A = this chain, B = another copy of it.
Amino acid sequence: MNLALLHDEDLVAADRALIRGRRLQHLQSVLKSAIGDRVPVGRINGPMGTGEIVRLDDDEAELQLTLDQPAPPPLPLTLVLAMPRPKMFRRIIQTCAALGVKDIWLINSYKVEKSFWQTPWLSEPHLRENLTLGLEQARDTAMPQVHVRKLFKPFVEDELPGLLEGKQGLVAHPGTATPCPTHLPGPALLCVGPEGGFTPYEVGKLEEAGCQGVHLGPRILRVETAVPVLISRLFDLCT
């Protein structure tokens, strides 16, 4: 946790917050904070800054807030992701949030096992928790939106063309002829398949909708590695 993300309900005044639970524990056991220390904080979907610890006991810490910095810029990226295996799901969601992805669409694909959709990590509180962990890691406050679409064809035919408006559409697909572009000049929509990849039919449908098939070289990467590699290639994270 490199920043404590404050929810509306944590605020007791415009410039005062109470924190408890996981974030309090982090202050106490990892940061070994004391009264008078300043810790990085931010308001969900708002500014960031510091919180000075003005009261600290076993149950809660009271922070005096100075929120005078903007959150880092969001990535101009819509990420369309075949629903990952539950074991990988949490980590991928955290990674996407940490990298600054704000618009995530979880879709079905032939190689997505039906059971993947049953994972409790898809529930609203768990999603929010893992997105929060990613934001707190990266020092960001802008909560990503996650959309769930359990039917491939209606999504690709009815929704994808609208999502692609004004964006460069890409589908990462090992074995295609075109290398993934670098340093995109504007917003993009990127589709990433499941373990084993999209089927040829699915790649065809995504291409029909306006996504260009691109490859990342001879190596086949796991989704959790491919996503940071693709994002770092498409956008300059240093700016």
A-B contact pairs, 8 of them (CB 8 A): A95-B222, A99-B221, A99-B225, A137-B220, A139-B220, A228-B229, A229-B231, A233-B233
A6 at interface by CB-CB < 8 Å: no
* B99 contacts A220, C-beta separation under 8 Å: no
Per-residue contact bits, chain A 126-151, to B (CB 8 Å; 1 contact, 0 not): 00000000000111100000000000
User: What is the copy number of this chain in the assembly?
Assistant: 2
Starting from the known contacts A139-B219, A182-B236, A233-B237, 11 additional A-B residue pairs (CB-CB under 8 Å) come to A98-B221, A99-B229, A137-B222, A138-B219, A139-B220, A216-B238, A217-B239, A228-B228, A228-B232, A229-B232, A232-B233
Q: Which of A160-180 contact B (CB under 8 A)?
A: 179-180
A2 on interface, CB distance cutoff 8 Å: yes
Q: Give the chain B neighbours of A231 by CB distance below 8 A.
A: 229
Interface residue ranges, A against B (CB under 8 Å): 2, 72, 95, 98-100, 137-140, 179-180, 182, 215-222, 224-225, 228-233, 236-239
Known: A228-B228, A228-B229, A231-B229. Contact between A221 and B138, CB under 8 A? Answer: yes
B219 and A99 form a contact (CB under 8 A): yes
